[in-house]
Amino acid sequence: MAGFLDNFRWPECECIDWSERRNAVASVVAGILFFTGWWIMIDAAVVYPKPEQLNHAFHTCGVFSTLAFFMINAVSNAQVRGDSYESGCLGRTGARVWLFIGFMLMFGSLIASMWILFGAYVTQRSLKYHRLISIRFWNTFIFHFSVVELGFRSGGTAQTWSF
Amino acid sequence: MYHSFLIHSSADGHLGCFHVLAIINNLGNLAFSLFVLLCFLHVQYWPLFVLFFYILSPIPYCIARRLVDDTDAMSNACKELAIFLTTGIVVSAFGLPIVFARAHLIEWGACALVLTGNTVIFATILGFFLVFGSNDDFSWQQW
């Protein structure tokens, strides 16, 4: 019973060689996700302008997600491992602390957006704002997907240094 | 004037350079005229803000290509940032008319026309870069 999926393999697809283009594809997908998240937030702010419908403080989740996104992507894999030639302005430990703070901000804003979803909208049972519920949640969820995409990409960039 | 382009292309046996440029030019004109028609039919000038995104869209990629050379690993990061920003500009050009329509500033029919024009214009720009953008020194030999 244990290990019954060990011999499972994805079906072979020889049509396109993705290895060269992986970074570009990941950048495109991350861009689509990130900016779609922002436009969903702008759309929600436009359709529900009153503070009792959408409290303007809820935008801080998106702002902190964006800040954390840029913080995480500013640090490359090589800096964190200490492989690069120059140590940068913070050194290896500084890069790790920076990354840690970035991830904390990111996950904190994800948790905050879920709290807003459940605390402000679902429990109030206000059926008018159903669309808003999905909007709030998908927004920050999308930001996180884009971080995952760019993390995938930075893993690819690090491979160029293997001589 | 156009028959000289056809002669050029048929001598080679494949699409000549001028022929491709003429196609791209016609597509761009079609998209832009669709756009202007939209603004005059619906007497709303809000969609003209999308022009801002059309102009911005090739800029990050052009800057990245001029600024870095291909041999460095950092150049990949710069190019990927440029691709990321370009994708964001394209998404914004699609999102802006939708948000305008949901705010009832323009009608949904106008929004659909703007989105169609967007698709054609971005396909044109992409086609231009795929055909003419592949050499780095931007020499005039191809013309």
Q: pLDDT 10s digit of each residue in chain A, 163 long?
A: 788 888 777 776 655 556 666 777 888 888 888 888 888 888 888 887 777 777 778 888 888 888 888 888 877 666 666 666 666 677 778 888 888 998 888 888 888 887 877 777 666 665 555 566 566 666 666 776 666 666 665 554 444 433 3
Structural domain tally of chain A?
A: 1
Taking an 8 Å cut-off on Cβ atoms, the answer to whether A153 and B83 are in contact is: no
Q: Which residues of B touch A22 (CB under 8 A)?
A: none
What is the average per-residue pLDDT within B78-97? 89
Give the number of domains in chain B.
Answer: 1
Smallest Cα distance from B68 to chain A, Å: 16
Residue B104 placed within a domain: yes
Contacts of A21 in chain B (CB under 8 A): none
- Residue B110 inside a domain? The answer is yes
Residue B1 burial (CB < 10 Å; 0-12/13-18/19+)?
Answer: exposed
Q: Cα A117 to the chain's mean position, in Å?
A: 18
Instruction: Tell me B106's DSSP state.
Output: S
Q: Which helix (H) or strand (E) holds A41?
A: helix A22-47
Q: Is residue B103 part of a domain?
A: yes
Where would I find the H helices in chain B? 2-12, 17-42, 50-56, 59-67, 73-102, 108-132
Q: Tell me if B82 is assigned to some domain.
A: yes
Task: Return d(Cα B42, Cα B40) in angstroms, integer.
Answer: 6
A96: its two tokens:
């790790």
**Domain residues for B40?**
2-137
In a domain, residue B142? The reply is no
Q: Which residues of A touch B95 (CB under 8 A)?
A: 35-36, 39, 42-43
Helix (H, G, I), strand (E, B) or coil at A17: coil
Has residue A97 been placed in a domain?
yes
Tell me which residue range forms the domain holding A62: 56-82+89-122
- B132 occurs within a structural domain: yes
Tell me the per-residue pLDDT of B96-139, one tens digit each, with 9 for 90 and over.
999 998 888 888 888 888 888 888 888 888 888 877 765 555 44
Mean pLDDT of B65-75: 66
DSSP string, A72-130: HHHS-HHHHHT-SSS-TTTHHHHHHHHHHHHHHHHHHHHHHHHHHIIIIIITTT-GGGH
**A107 inside domain:** yes
Across the A:B interface, residue pairs with CB atoms under 8 Å apart total: 59
Do the beta carbons of residue B61 and residue B82 sit within 8 Å? yes
In a domain, B121, yes or no: yes
